[in-house]
Amino acid sequence: MGDEMYGKVIFIGGGPGDPELLTLKAYKEIKRADIIIYAGSLVNRDVLNCSKKGCIIKNSANMNLDEIMDLMEKSVKNGKTVARVHTGDPAIYGAIGEQIQILKHRNIRFEIIPGVSSFFAVAAALQKELTLPEVSQTVIITRPEGRTPKPSSEAISKLAEHQATMCIFLGVQMIENVVNDLLTYYKPTTPVAVVQKASWPDEKIVQGTLNNISNKVHKSGITKTAMIIVGDVLDTDEIKPSKLYDKKFTHEYRKGL
């Protein structure tokens, strides 16, 4: 079979949950895919409602890596387009690295379509900017160590030294440990928000400080599918304007007064 007869694997960022937050390119590729393999434990099934009649849809939560890759290879060699749909943006905790490695080894064509990450949806739900002038100009994206190990230099207790805005994935089930690590450098009164299923119809928001967020989360019943955001950007009464729109500031497109 010549290369022209082969199909392709397309990794797609399915966004945080709201189907309307799919990119146009992602929507078009889901709509024309012959096979869809989606991360059913995280991806909102409604994101796939645009799939065509006859499309085969598989939930990868019930599959291991070998089964996923074998299905991809078989489908592509039969000239099919496979949409591999991950939650948010697949570059962030999407486990696509191992899949890409195997696809390259098997000489299977693929491409990647980025998506809206859940931490952007969380910021939108909180109606907050994560990078306020003179408060925080850095966003740290991380997760606590669980069954997936991480370098010791990236421990939350060490990252906390920066006291930047921190977005913590996959940590709500161990909220007490996360808080203890954050308290290594953050003040106990530092504001924290926990958002479950940002952009979904059943989105839930819990806000507090490092002093009380653990109790609030337990009372809310949130145990998974949530993000923790910590930092002073969440509780700033008076925001200092950026230089970008300061009428006295001169830049390439405008002369200041």
- CB of 103 closer than 8 Å to CB of 18: no
> Which two three-digit tokens encode residue 195?
């958002």
Nearest to 227 by CA among 165, 184, 183: 165
Residue 14 inside a domain? The answer is yes
> Which two three-digit tokens encode residue 68?
């996923």
Do 21 and 93 fall into the same domain?
A: yes
Q: How many domains does the chain have?
A: 2
CA dist 31 and 27 (Å) reads 6
Residue 245 inside a domain? The answer is no
Q: Give the single-character DSSP code of 172.
A: G
CA dist 204 and 197 (Å) reads 7
Nearest to 14 by CA among 121, 137, 162: 121
Residue 148 banded pLDDT, cuts 50, 70, 90: confident
SS3 category, 102: helix
Do 40 and 124 fall into the same domain?
A: no
- Looking at residues 25-42, what average pLDDT do you find? 96
Q: Within 13 Å and on the Cβ side, how many CA atoms surround 94? A: 28
List, for residues 173-197, the tens digit of each pLDDT value. Answer: 999 999 999 999 999 999 999 999 9
Domain assignment of residue 155, given as a range: 118-234
Residue 256 inside a domain? The answer is no
- CB of 171 closer than 8 Å to CB of 228: yes
Do 123 and 205 fall into the same domain?
A: yes
Instruction: Specify the CATH number for the domain of residue 127.
Output: 3.30.950.10
Residue 246 pLDDT > 80? no
List, for residues 51-97, the tens digit of each pLDDT value. Answer: 999 999 999 999 999 999 999 999 999 999 999 999 999 999 999 99
Residue 28 pLDDT > 50? yes
SS3 category, 224: coil
CA dist 167 and 32 (Å) reads 34
pTM: 0.88
Residue 201 inside a domain? The answer is yes
Residue 246 inside a domain? The answer is no
Picking from 70, 98, 113, the residue at the C-terminal end of a domain is 113
**Over the chain, what is the mean pLDDT?**
92
Do 158 and 85 fall into the same domain?
A: no
Residue 33 inside a domain? The answer is yes
Nearest to 12 by CA among 48, 46, 62, 41: 48
What pLDDT, on the 0 to 100 scale, is given for residue 3? 53
Picking from 98, 113, 128, the residue at the C-terminal end of a domain is 113
